Amino acid sequence: MARRLFGTDGIRGTANLEPMTPETALRVAMATGRVLRRGEHRHLVVIGKDTRLSGYMIEPALTAGFIAMGMDVELVGPLPTPAIAMLTRSLRADLGVMISASHNPYEDNGIKLFGPDGYKLSDEIETAIEARLDEKDGRTHAAELGRARRLDDAGGRYVEFAKSSFPKRLRLDGLKVVVDCAHGAAYKVAPTVLWELGAEVFPIGVAPDGLNINRGCGATSPQAMSEEVVRRGADLGLALDGDADRLIVADEAGRVLDGDQLMALIALEWHGAGRLAAAGVVATVMSNLGFERRLAEHGIKLTRTAVGDRYVVEEMRRNGANLGGEQSGHIILADDATTGDGLMAALQVLAAIVQQGAPASRVCNQFTPVPQLLRNIRHDGGVPLEAPRVRSAIAAGERRLGAGGRLLVRASGTEPVIRIMAEGEDDRLVAEIVGEIEAALREVGNGAREQAAE
């Protein structure tokens, strides 16, 4: 069966247009109940969300669907995606649901589903849910309907969970830290965690109004965080995205550091402490060659996967790795969490700074990146990558880069965008190749238009 709703990270789309309508959310909840109900016990679902206005529409629709299937619901309100994964396990729930479109603008929203183990549902289960969307059976008897309640201390539970990943003997006393919460799900918990560990905290992006999530702030727009670091004379800046599963950092000079640099730092710290699993690190095809070479200097293996944190997690589970992530800032610390957690990753970076007693510019800049250019081309449908003109341009680019470079051109799994990434020692050649592929995409007549790279 072809998947119509689920992409690489759940369901996502423009709010109040299909598939992100209350009608479809209701059907998804009921279909999920049909697929996942097992046995006679009272089934429990944990539902969280970020701060988008449309969350008020999607949350009750999902709740009604689960209740109609005889499943109880715990509503936890705005919390990071990793908090929902954690609470699903902690509460022994049968399902966790996060209502969020992550780093996308407020107009979009999404639905991410977690199993009782805290991991995102497999492609097979998501496909089974889609197959049962239009069924009418399975509704429970009126006396057996589910119930819903608010879990008032959910934020506090996550704060303690996040703090537990920070070395017990350390504190952040004396450190000035800027944290940009993107007006998103971590706007309360992230500053609280940092403050309770002793940091002097300068929070920005902590005034959500339902419409400003990720707008000019957060991990996809780190300039505001970087400027605040310089203005405050801070030691470090942390930028999370709308659902706080990504992290981007700025050092004391305001220089922005991506997920590759942060993974390199954590990998080398853990390797030195004997904590890094023998399987090494798992990252995606987007991670920089400089990152791979830095790990190789220390005999650390890098395994690459397709783009998407779920594929990183799947490979980590398969080969026993305990560290993985994406250049975009998804970092998975498998000893503590089942999905990317921007706040926990930030605590690992802060721990390294405290232990080394050195500025972030020295601690976090782990390698010199190989010149890499990313470009996102939005299109209006069709399959532009199958056009002969585009395929020819890609093949020509691969030949020109040769063995010393890499070229990746792919369709996004969450939005109508073609992503082009070229990497090589000659930055002018890299730019030429990306430009030629972009031109070919425009020529095929799919209404492609450039979008700022994430």
Chain segment 53-75, per-residue pLDDT in tens: 999 999 999 999 999 999 999 99
329 and 233, same domain (yes or no)? no
pLDDT at residue 138, as a whole number: 84
124 and 33, same domain (yes or no)? yes
Q: Please report whether residue 1 resides in a domain.
A: no
Q: Is 221 a catalytic residue?
A: no
Q: Give which of 97, 139, 104 is closest to 417, Cα–Cα.
A: 104
Angle CA 417–419–422, to nearest 5: 165
283 and 331, same domain (yes or no)? yes
Full residue range of the structural domain in which residue 35 is found: 6-152
pLDDT tens-place values along the chain, 454 residues long: 567 899 888 999 999 999 999 999 999 999 999 999 988 899 999 999 999 999 999 999 999 999 999 999 999 999 999 999 999 999 999 999 999 999 999 999 999 999 999 999 999 999 999 999 999 888 999 999 999 999 999 999 999 999 999 999 999 999 999 999 999 999 999 999 999 999 999 999 999 999 999 999 999 999 999 999 999 999 999 999 999 999 999 999 999 999 999 999 999 999 999 999 999 999 999 999 999 999 999 999 999 999 889 999 999 999 999 999 999 999 999 999 999 999 999 999 999 999 999 999 999 999 999 999 999 988 877 788 999 999 999 999 999 999 888 999 988 877 788 999 999 999 999 999 999 999 999 888 644 444 434 3
Residue 201 in tokens: 């905290």
Q: Please report whether residue 20 resides in a domain.
A: yes
Tally the domains of the chain. 4
Active-site annotation holder among 54, 100, 102, 328: 102
pLDDT at residue 454, as a whole number: 39
Interatomic CA distance for residues 120 and 438, integer angstroms = 34
Residues sharing a CB contact under 8 Å with residue 219, sequence separation 6 or more, in sequence order: 103, 180, 182, 239, 240, 241, 246, 247, 248, 328, 329, 342
Would you call the peptide bond into 19 cis, given omega within 30 degrees of 0 as the criterion? yes
Interatomic CA distance for residues 178 and 360, integer angstroms = 13
Can you spell out the DSSP letters for 191-203?
HHHHHHTT-EEEE
pLDDT at residue 448, as a whole number: 43
103 and 35, same domain (yes or no)? yes
Q: Please report whether residue 343 resides in a domain.
A: yes
106 and 238, same domain (yes or no)? no
Q: Please report whether residue 148 resides in a domain.
A: yes
Q: Please report whether residue 248 resides in a domain.
A: yes
- What CATH number is associated with residue 73? 3.40.120.10
Helix (H, G, I), strand (E, B) or coil at 172: coil
10 and 131, same domain (yes or no)? yes
- What CATH number is associated with residue 413? 3.30.310.50
Last residue of a domain, one of 333, 364, 395: 364
